[in-house]
Chain A
């Protein structure tokens, strides 16, 4: 009988104990993989949203807190805090193309949706929108709405349907082609109309800008700050701030999964210790017929390593399934406070699979070290004389 047959036979000798020990490491690994997978998908989602912002600079009021900054990437409604004058002064700087955003909320079929006030023509060019159905705004003060593609699909809205916003009816005149960004999830109206119906006055939420020479970013930022008192962030800085905050949330979640793994490791150590006491006589016989202590050590270490391998593989599968189930729930829960709007989706990542399985094996082998050493140190007389 080779060593691998011996190891697998030993493991399956007490099937109940084998299943429960395996369950411990499997659940720990599943939690670890699910959190790792969701964390990386959240990061990817944010990077994608930042890319789709397709702007070099984001201009916000100086008093905005981190939540507001994050909301730009995640597509949440934001307070109207910048005076319209700011927009005009920034637009007058040579080399900068800027568009204002005024983000509010309303409800369709009792579900919250975003309403964005825009400069119709400038925004269409800036965002490179294409019209899937209908005719786009003909005037800057047209009292009608254009829908993002997801809004039209999710609420089954068609051209000519009427949306009531702040008690006023607005006909749907066009639907945008899908963009894959947050643009798909908003209802668009001309800026002046949103300012009027929401009784906001001459204010906007924030401005995004594109510069003609990205190697000169600092000088553009300096030029903006020179003419208006605002906070100017490059798209990369914004993303980096958000990812840093997300990183600390991820680290906390992984720590929780780590605790589950450590308790699973103690479970393996406990199982291996029990196995040694049960198999003392067998160890003694092996030693008596010439088995080396290194061979005994190897057998027990392989047994605990096998727990890690099996637990790792099953845990990866369960973890990915759990992340698929959990993704939509997390998108609506307190865990994703920082992620509101950016829906995490489960994602299969080979590096996570390899890391998780290796990590599982290492943890199991480490937890099996002490029991294996104990088994290897038993002398034949000690082992056989055990009753």
Chain B
């Protein structure tokens, strides 16, 4: 019987730790950096939705603000998009993926753009967009 309180405490702690850990809490939104991008320096984690890839170089894609995309439910509306060049190896994300890209501003062959060395896919929101507004 004495094991139950210990188990209970461990269980609650596990739930709280799982609930509280948010690796993406410090990610910047696209909207945060669009007006004054170079005010942000060093390694950055930027969260956004992939809207399209550059036709001639599929390492380059555009990121749109996640909150704006989820409320407006469109990838193509006239809004700011952050160009990102992905220089890491392996798979590349897909259109409508919500990603955190990790990298920094870099002078590339395309000018100064955000150079991502890694990314994390949180989810794909294509279904949400296709389902349309529910209001």
Task: Please report A residues at the B interface, Cβ cutoff 8 Å.
Answer: 15-16, 19, 23, 27, 65-67, 70, 76-77, 79, 104-107, 110, 112, 115, 164-167, 198, 244-245, 248, 318, 322, 325-326, 329, 332-334, 337-338, 340
Contacts and interface: CB of A to CB of B under 8 A. Distances in A.
Contacts of A105: 31-36
Interface of B is mostly: helix
B33 A110 contact: no
A112 B28 contact: yes
A79 B79 CA distance: 9
- Chain B's interface size range is 35 or more
Given A245-B135, A325-B16, A67 B36 contact: no
Contacts of B15: 27
B71 A67 contact: yes
Contact of A244 (B41, B77, B135): B135
B38 interface: yes
A164 B39 CA distance: 8
Interface stretch (B18-26, B55-63, B88-96, B108-116): B18-26
Contacts of B72: 65-67
Contacts of B134: 248
A27 B16 CA distance: 12
Choose among A15, A79, A318, A338 the residue with the greatest number of B CB atoms under 10 Å from its CB.
Answer: A79
Contacts of A77: 31, 35
20 contacts: A15-B4, A19-B4, A65-B68, A67-B68, A67-B71, A70-B71, A105-B33, A105-B35, A105-B36, A107-B39, A110-B42, A112-B28, A112-B32, A115-B35, A318-B12, A322-B19, A326-B19, A329-B20, A333-B22, A333-B25
Nearest to A112: B32
A107 B79 CA distance: 21
A19 B8 contact: yes
Interface string B27-52: 01101111110111110100000000
A92 to B, nearest CB: 30
Q: Which 3 A-B pairs have the closest CB atoms?
A: A112-B32, A67-B71, A107-B39
A66 B74 CA distance: 12
B67 interface: yes
A340 B35 contact: no
Contacts of B29: 112, 340
A338 B71 CA distance: 8
A76 B35 CA distance: 12
Contacts of B33: 105, 107, 112
A337 B25 CA distance: 13
A74 to B, nearest CB: 10
Contacts of A104: 35-36
B38 A167 contact: yes
Contacts of B135: 244-245, 248
A112 to B, nearest CB: 4
B8 A23 contact: yes
B1 interface: yes
B78 to A, nearest CB: 9
Contact of B66 (A164, A326, A337): A337
B43 to A, nearest CB: 10
A245 B28 CA distance: 24
Contacts of B36: 104-107, 115, 165-166, 198
B50 to A, nearest CB: 16
A326 B20 CA distance: 7
Contacts of A79: 79
A110 B32 CA distance: 11
Given A104-B36, A245-B135, A322-B19, A16 B31 contact: no
A39 B44 CA distance: 31
A322 to B, nearest CB: 7
A332 B32 contact: no
B34 to A, nearest CB: 7
A81 B48 CA distance: 23
B116 to A, nearest CB: 17
Nearest to A70: B71
